[in-house]
C-alpha cells in the first residue's frame, strides 16, 4: 500500500515496526543511521518517514533538515523524554507529527494512518460511488438503494471497498481474502460466497441475477458500475 522508511538505531524497535507496519499492508524500508536514511530515501522515494531523533551519526534534526531540502514527504518524529528541545526544533523544521518515547505501537500506528490519510487518500478509492439507484458513500459509511438506506456490516464494507478500489476489474479470491480478512487468509473462498451473497441481497435489485457484484468463475469477483 504505502512505502514507509523507518529510521532508528534500535534493532528491537526496527523489528517491531517492520512487523506491525507490514501487517497493515505497508512496505517497510529500514535505516539505522542518518546517512543510510538519506541514501535510502533518495533511492527508494518512500511516501512516509518515521524518524528517531537519537541517531548514532547525524543529529536527527539535521537528517530532517536535509530531507526537507529535497522533499515534502510526511515525517513522524520519535523522541525520548529528555529531548524536548529537539522535539520543538523538529516541528519547526517541518515534522508533521511527533511521538514521545515510550509510546504504544497502537498510538504510532494511529498516527501513521492519520499521516497517510492527510498525504492524500488513494485516488483509487473513491469517497462515493453512484450507479443506477445505488449510492455508496465510503466516507460516511452509508449506502442507499433507490433512496432507501441499506445497512452494511463492517466486513461487508471492507469487501465492498476492496472491490470498489478495482471496480470494473476482476479481483482474485486470494486478494480479496487477504485485503478483507488479513494476510493469513487466502483459501477460505466460502467466506466470499457468503458475503457476496449478503451484499447482493442488500444492494442488487434482483439478487439472483446480479448486475453489479459479478462472479467470474474460477477467477474472482468484479464490481460493475454504470
Partner DNA sequence: CCGACGCGTTAGGGAAGCGTCAAGATCGGT
Partner DNA sequence: ACCGATCTTGACGCTTCCCTAACGCGTCGG
Q: Between 135 and 170, name the residue whose CB sits nearer to its own copies.
A: 170
2 or 220: CB nearest DNA: 220
Which of residues 147, 154, 206, 208 is near its own copies by CB under 8 A?
Answer: 154
Residues near 51 by beta carbon (within 8 Å), at least 6 away in sequence: 7, 37, 60, 63, 64, 67, 75, 76, 77, 78, 95
The stretch among 23-31, 78-86, 127-135, 151-159 that binds DNA (CB under 7 A) is 151-159
Task: With beta carbons less than 8 A apart as the criterion, state whether 187 and 194 touch.
Answer: no
In the complex with DNA, the residue whose CB is nearer, 137 or 191, is 191
Query: Residues 164, 124: contact at Cβ < 8 Å?
Result: no
**Is residue 189 at the binding interface for DNA, with CB under 7 A as the rule?**
yes
- Of 26, 166, 173, 212, the residue at the interface with DNA (CB under 7 A) is 173
Shortest distance, CB of residue 223 to DNA, whole angstroms? 13
Number of residues counted as binding DNA (CB under 7 A): 32
Name the maximum alpha-carbon separation found in the chain.
65
Are the C-beta atoms of residues 94 and 64 closer than 8 Å to each other? yes
Binding pattern for the stretch 185-214 against its own copies, x by CB under 8 A and - elsewhere: -xx---------------------------
* Residue in this structure with the C-alpha cell 490519510, named with its chain if needed: 117
Question: How far apart (Å, rounded) are the C-alpha atoms in residues 117 and 48?
Answer: 11
Interface with DNA by CB under 7 A: which range of 18-26, 84-92, 124-132, 214-222? 214-222
Neighbours of 12 (CB within 10 A): 8
Bond prior to 222 in cis (omega within 30° of 0)? no
The cell 526537507 sits on which residue?
A: 68
Cα–Cα dist 49/39, whole Å? 13
Which position among 131, 135, 164, 170 is part of the footprint of its own copies (CB under 8 A)?
170
What residues have CB less than 8 Å from 186, skipping those under 6 apart?
173, 174, 177, 178
Instruction: Point out which residues bind DNA (CB under 7 A).
Output: 65-66, 69, 151, 153-156, 173, 181, 188-198, 200-201, 207-208, 210, 215-220
Instruction: Point out which residues bind its own copies (CB under 8 A).
Output: 81-82, 84-85, 87-88, 91-92, 97-98, 100, 104, 106-107, 110, 139-141, 153-154, 157, 168-170, 174, 178, 183-184, 186-187, 216-219, 222
Amino acid at each position: 500500500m504505502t512505502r514507509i522508511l523507518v529510521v532508528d538505531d534500535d534493532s528491537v524497535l526496527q523489528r517491531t515496526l517492520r512487523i506491525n507496519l507490514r501487517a497493515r499492508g505497508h512496505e517497510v524500508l529500514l535505516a539505522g543511521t542518518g546517512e543510510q536514511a538519506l541514501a535510502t530515501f533518495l533511492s527508494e522515494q518512500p511516501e512516509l518517514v518515521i524518524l528517531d531523533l537519537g541517531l548514532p551519526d547525524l543529529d536527527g534534526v539535521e537528517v530532517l533538515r536535509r530531507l526537507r531540502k529535497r522533499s515534502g514527504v510526511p515525517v513522524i518524529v520519535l523522541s525520548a523524554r529528555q529531548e524536548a528541545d529537539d522535539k520543538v526544533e523538529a516541528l519547526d523544521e517541518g515534522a508533521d507529527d511527533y511521538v514521545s518515547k515510550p509510546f504504544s505501537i497502537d498510538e504510532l500506528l494511529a498516527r501513521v494512518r492519520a499521516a497517510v490519510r492527510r498525504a492524500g487518500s488513494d485516488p483509487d478509492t473513491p469517497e462515493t460511488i453512484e450507479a443506477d439507484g445505488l449510492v455508496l458513500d465510503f466516507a460516511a459509511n452509508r449506502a442507499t438503494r433507490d433512496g432507501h438506506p441499506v445497512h452494511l456490516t463492517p466486513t461487508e464494507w471492507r469487501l465492498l471497498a476492496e472491490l470498489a478500489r478495482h471496480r470494473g476489474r476482476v479481483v482474485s479470491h486470494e486478494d480479496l481474502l487477504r485485503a478483507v480478512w488479513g494476510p493469513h487468509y487466502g483459501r477460505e473462498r466460502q467466506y466470499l460466497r457468503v458475503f457476496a451473497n449478503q451484499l447482493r441481497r442488500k444492494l442488487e435489485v434482483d439478487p439472483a441475477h446480479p448486475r453489479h457484484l459479478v462472479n467470474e468463475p474460477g477467477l474472482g469477483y468484479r464490481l460493475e458500475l454504470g
